[in-house]
Amino acid sequence: MKSYQGKRAIVFGGTSGIGLATAALLAERGAEVTAVGPEADRPESLRNSTEIEWIHADVTCPNEIAAAVDTVSSRGPLDWLVYSAGIQRYGTADEASIEQWDLVHSVNARGAFVAAHFVVPKMTRGGAIVHVSSVQGVACQTSVPAYAASKGTLDTLTKAMALDFAARGIRVNAVLPGTVDTPMVRASAEMFSEGQSSDAVVASWGRTHPLGRVAQPREIAQAIAFLLSEEASFVTGALLPVDGGLLAQLAVKL
């Protein structure tokens, strides 16, 4: 399906996990796609890709975000922005360092603001932005105050931007994934494995979702692609759970 011909997209966090899957899906459907992320995260599939451009940028550095946007927009206006950069760090408020809090917020929330700051002036009317948030912006686990708060900030930023840019014809939405089989989740599984394999840990986390499994990155990418597309032309300011029913359930079982 080549339904996205003529669309120009920039995907921050596009070198790994959900961002990489999104970049691949948009390119597959005919969009001109630039994936932005650090060299260390760039997989072989992206190194060899002729369909997806890669640009190095550290999302904690506004100058690098600006340079990436300038490079892409020099070829013409941007239609779509996806912000999928994110990191997870653990520790309660008395355990985690202030530097850890600042880093998580810089990557997960501040970077989305900075990306919009530079992209929106280069965007076409009728453009669209999608933030990759998390169910943890709505409901929390233990030991994730920095991550959960950063995603809550991202959710509120999504709504504020949707209002601010509506008059320009730019829609802004967010997806809220549950557990997704990404490198970040695999790293967490290793951290909490207690002698089990990461496959076993991820499978156990999947069983806490009503659908009985974790998501694959492409499943989240498909929701992102919908929100970007004209099929979602009257959707803005929405926080779309893509969580296998996780937020719909109560912990108490009958």
* pLDDT(50) > 90: no
Asked if 206 and 212 count as a contact pair (C-beta separation under 8 A), the reply is yes
Residue 128's Cα: distance from chain center in Å?
14
The predicted-structure confidence for 195-236, as pLDDT tens digits, reads as follows 899 999 999 999 999 999 999 999 999 999 999 999 999 999
Query: Would the CA dihedral through 75, 228, 153, 217 be positive or negative?
Result: negative
Return the CATH number of the domain spanning residue range 8-178+216-242.
Answer: 3.40.50.720
Residue 162's Cα: distance from chain center in Å?
17
The predicted-structure confidence for 59-102, as pLDDT tens digits, reads as follows 999 999 999 999 999 999 999 999 999 999 999 999 999 999 99
Reported as a pLDDT band with limits 50, 70 and 90, residue 3 is confident
* pLDDT(42) > 90: no
Residues 6+ apart with CB under 8 A from 215: 177, 178, 179, 180, 181, 242, 243, 244
Reported as a pLDDT band with limits 50, 70 and 90, residue 2 is low
Question: Strands of 123-132's sheet, edge to edge?
Answer: 52-55, 32-36, 8-12, 78-83, 123-132, 171-177, 239-242
* pLDDT(44) > 90: no
Radius of gyration in angstroms for the set of CA atoms belonging to the chain, rounded to a whole number: 18
What pLDDT score was predicted for residue 14?
A: 96
According to DSSP, the β-strands at 52-55 and 78-83 are unpaired
3-state DSSP assignment of residue 36: strand
The predicted-structure confidence for 4-23, as pLDDT tens digits, reads as follows 999 999 999 999 999 999 99
Structure tokens at 71: 């490079």
Which residues participate in catalysis according to the annotation? 147
- For residue 206, count CB atoms less than 10 angstroms from its CB and return exposed for 0-12, middle for 13-18, buried for 19 or more: middle
Domain ranges of the chain: 8-178+216-242, 179-214
Alpha helices in the chain (DSSP H): 17-28, 44-47, 62-73, 98-105, 111-119, 145-165, 183-191, 198-206, 217-228
- DSSP state for residue 11 in the 8-state scheme: E
- Average pLDDT for the chain: 95
* pLDDT(1) > 60: no
According to DSSP, the β-strands at 171-177 and 8-12 are unpaired
